[in-house]
Amino acid sequence: MITLENVSVSLEQKTILKGLSLTTSRLGFTVIIGRNGSGKSTLLKAIAGLLEYQGSIKIDNKEIKKLPRKERAQQLSLLPQQRPLPDIDVETLVSHGRFPYLGFGKQMSAEDRQIVEEALIRADVSDLRYRRMRSLSGGERQRVYIAMMIAQDTKYLLLDEPTTFLDVEYQLEVMNLLKSLQEEGKHIIMVAHDLPQAFSFAEEVVVLADGELICQGRSEEIYNNSALKEVFSVRLCPQVGEKGLYKYQLEK
Ligand SMILES: Nc1ncnc2c1ncn2[C@@H]1O[C@H](COP(=O)(O)OP(=O)(O)OP(=O)(O)O)[C@@H](O)[C@H]1O
Name the DSSP letter for residue 80: -
Which residue(s) pair with 5 in the sheet?
56
pTM score, whole prediction: 0.93
Q: Is the CB of 45 under 6 A from ligand 1?
A: no
How far does residue 210's CA lie from ligand 1's centre (Å)? Answer: 10
Q: Is the CB of 37 under 6 A from ligand 1?
A: yes
Q: Identify residue 163 by its one-letter amino acid code.
A: T
The SS3 call for residue 21 is strand
Nearest-CA residue for atom 28 of ligand 1 = 37
Spatial CA neighbour of 189 closest among 158, 229, 228: 158
What's the confidence (pLDDT) of residue 116? 98
**How much of the chain, in percent, has pLDDT values that exceed 90?**
74
| Cα–Cα dist 88/163, whole Å | 23
**How much of the chain, in percent, has pLDDT values that exceed 70?**
98
pLDDT at 135 > cutoff 70: yes
From residue 184, how far is each of 29, 110, 206 by CA, in Å?
12, 23, 23
From residue 154, how far is each of 71, 85, 244 by CA, in Å?
10, 22, 32
112 Cβ neighbours under 8 A, 6+ residues apart? 95, 98, 101, 102
Pairing of strands 248-251, 2-11: unpaired
From residue 41, how far is each of 17, 24, 80, 88, 209 by CA, in Å?
10, 16, 8, 27, 12
| Cα–Cα dist 9/195, whole Å | 26
Which is higher by pLDDT, 42 or 82?
A: 42
Q: Is the CB of 28 under 6 A from ligand 1?
A: no
Q: Is the CB of 40 under 6 A from ligand 1?
A: yes
From residue 122, how far is each of 6, 116, 147, 175, 186 by CA, in Å?
38, 10, 7, 12, 15
Pairing of strands 204-209, 29-33: parallel
pLDDT at 195 > cutoff 80: yes
Nearest-CA residue for atom 27 of ligand 1 = 36
Tally the residues of the chain. 252
Phi and psi, residue 200, nearest 5°: -75, -30
The SS3 call for residue 83 is coil
What's the confidence (pLDDT) of residue 242? 66
Alpha helices, H only, 63-188: 69-75, 90-95, 110-122, 138-152, 168-183
What's the confidence (pLDDT) of residue 138? 87
Q: pLDDT averaged over the chain?
A: 92
Q: Is the CB of 211 under 6 A from ligand 1?
A: no
pLDDT at 243 > cutoff 80: no
Q: Tell me: the pLDDT tens digits for 113-125?
A: 999 999 999 999 9
Nearest-CA residue for atom 5 of ligand 1 = 11
Q: Identify residue 244 by its one-letter amino acid code.
A: G
Q: Tell me: the pLDDT tens digits for 38-69?
A: 999 999 999 999 999 999 999 999 999 999 99
Pairing of strands 248-251, 156-160: unpaired
Spatial CA neighbour of 133 closest among 80, 190, 83, 175: 83
